[in-house]
Copies of this chain bind each other. A is one copy, B any other.
Amino acid sequence: MALIQPRTLKGFRDYLPATMIPRERIMETARQTFRSFGFAPIDTPTLEHLEILTGKGSEETDRQLYQFVDAGKRPVGMRFDLTVPLARFAAQHIGQLGTPFKRYQIAPVWRGENPQAGRYREFYQCDFDTIGTESVLADIEAVTVIDSLLRSIGIEAFTISINNRAILSGLLESLDLADQTTPILRSLDKLGKIGREATAAEMVSAAEIRPDQADQVLQLAECGGGADEVFAKLPAIIGDNATAVNGATRLREIYEGAIASGVAPERMKIDVSIARGLDYYTGVIFETTLDELPSIGSVCSGGRYDNLAGLYTKEHLPGIGASLGLDRLLAALETLDRLSSTSKPCPVFIPYFDKDRRDDYLKLATNLRRAGIGTEVYPEPRKLKAQLKYADAHGFAYALIAGGNEWADGKVQVKTLAEKASEEIEYTHDAPEKLIARLSETENPTRNQSSQTAPPV
């Protein structure tokens, strides 16, 4: 019989252990962080009625949608994000769930885009949202979640840029330019690339505004510096428009509330130039960049929106949420050489080389596991050298070597594989404590590190 060629579809990929281990660890850290703030998990189906999905994203997502007619003749589609399913879910269940409703969802989505470097047709999104409240406390909390999430993942050098869309909206309102918001934002987006003069010229031509109006908009976008400096300069730029003034007041409240919640001031940047898409967000918006690799873009973004589920329900559901860019973050950690290269999720390896001692190896492994120390036993009695090669190749931290002599002496040899160092530690099945204590000295990747060790705020 001819063999079928084993291969994945274009734009799809397998995750091998060395890639999947850090991926899974970050997802678990995210779950634990979200839960620790009271966000609860939900899940929604991969497939939705097509009408739920089409026209809810951009023209691009419509074009990229995986859609077909199922065996029951129903037009169906595979979800392209987690926001549209959340809107459908909220419209359907919010009466039962009540508000405020805080949820997270970590799940794959599908987009048939042309695969490029680092872009795939199946990828994970990792979202959290608080729905049904306009309270500033929810905004403060979103900043705190992002801070806590990145630090729990082990990242210390990052910057959360925060803005409030209401500030620019209010300024444009006062300049009588509310209708030109979209072309103005489109021009503003180029400020970093083409410079002030060209941006101003484009605003004047494309958005049909006066040069002095363009200048005022640019003054706002360029209002940089530390948070106190920005808050000091803003009043002169935005004048007395109520929307803008309230927007600035709320932005300051979020910043100060985040500091009270333990977010270090130096990790936040008040950046009144960021916009994040044109239509969806209406209030505070966030972007998060890694200080050591800002070029990779934002790894956690989000903001406040006015009404989540208007297409499916008359219930007005304001909310705030953000999304961790899992793949981007993993790519960054790889570039920064922060991912361990292990393909094994447990630290201890026990070679099985004295074939008469199988039950002793099994008991040793069980005793370590019961103490929370993940342990693999090689399945076949082979030469020690071959087994140690396997241990090295897979990145175990320790090999525990015990042959007839060691068992007779009540000892095992603990080999630290990276350092090629060995020491003998007392061990019997009835008294495993010393060995457990020795092996617990190191970080144990089978345990989760949920609690942060920072001092009280």
Q: Which residues of chain B are near A20, meaning CB under 8 Å?
A: 40-43
Distance between Cα atoms of A349 and B36 in the complex (Å): 11
Q: Which residues of chain B are near A316, meaning CB under 8 Å?
A: none
CB atoms of A311 and B379 under 8 A apart:
no
Task: Indicate whether A257 reaches chain B with its CB closer than 8 angstroms.
Answer: yes
CB atoms of B38 and A312 under 8 A apart:
no
Distance between Cα atoms of A51 and B2 in the complex (Å): 13
Task: Indicate whether A100 reaches chain B with its CB closer than 8 angstroms.
Answer: yes
Name the distance in Å between A92's Cβ and chain B's nearest Cβ.
Answer: 4
Name the distance in Å between A398's Cβ and chain B's nearest Cβ.
Answer: 13
Task: Indicate whether A335 reaches chain B with its CB closer than 8 angstroms.
Answer: no
Name the distance in Å between A87's Cβ and chain B's nearest Cβ.
Answer: 8
Distance between Cα atoms of A31 and B430 in the complex (Å): 28
Q: Which residues of chain B are near A313, meaning CB under 8 Å?
A: 3, 6
Which residues 245-263 in A have Cβ within 8 Å of B in the complex?
257, 260-262
Distance between Cα atoms of A346 and B452 in the complex (Å): 16
Which residues 401-457 in A have Cβ within 8 Å of B in the complex?
429-430, 432, 445-448, 450-454, 456-457
Q: Which residues of chain B are near A369, meaning CB under 8 Å?
A: 36-37, 148, 451-452
**How many of A's residues come within 8 Å of B, CB to CB?**
122
Q: Which residues of chain B are near A52, meaning CB under 8 Å?
A: 4, 6
Q: Which residues of chain B are near A430, meaning CB under 8 Å?
A: 456
Distance between Cα atoms of A352 and B42 in the complex (Å): 25
Q: Which residues of chain B are near A24, meaning CB under 8 Å?
A: 31, 41
Task: Indicate whether A280 reaches chain B with its CB closer than 8 angstroms.
Answer: no
CB atoms of A42 and B16 under 8 A apart:
yes
Q: Which residues of chain B are near A262, meaning CB under 8 Å?
A: 363, 366, 370
- A3 nearest CB neighbor, chain B only: B312
Query: Which of B47, B72, B89, B432 is within 8 Å of A456, CB to CB?
Result: B432
Task: Indicate whether A298 reaches chain B with its CB closer than 8 angstroms.
Answer: no
CB atoms of B140 and A362 under 8 A apart:
yes
Interface centre among A78, A100, A362 (most CB of B within 10 A): A362
Query: Which of B12, B103, B122, B456 is within 8 Å of A429, CB to CB?
Result: B456
Distance between Cα atoms of A371 and B44 in the complex (Å): 32
- A447 nearest CB neighbor, chain B only: B450
Query: Which of B35, B110, B122 is within 8 Å of A446, CB to CB?
Result: B35
Interface string of A1-17 (1 = CB under 8 A from B): 10111111110111111
Which residues 42-90 in A have Cβ within 8 Å of B in the complex?
42-49, 51-52, 66, 68-72, 74, 76, 78, 88-89
The 10 closest A-B pairs by CB, nearest first: A38-B376, A372-B451, A17-B40, A68-B68, A35-B345, A12-B45, A260-B359, A6-B91, A15-B43, A36-B374
**Pairs A–B under 8 Å by Cβ, sample size 23:** A3-B313, A5-B312, A6-B92, A10-B74, A15-B41, A28-B28, A35-B345, A35-B445, A37-B346, A37-B369, A38-B345, A38-B374, A38-B376, A40-B345, A46-B110, A46-B122, A72-B112, A97-B343, A133-B379, A137-B362, A260-B362, A370-B456, A372-B450
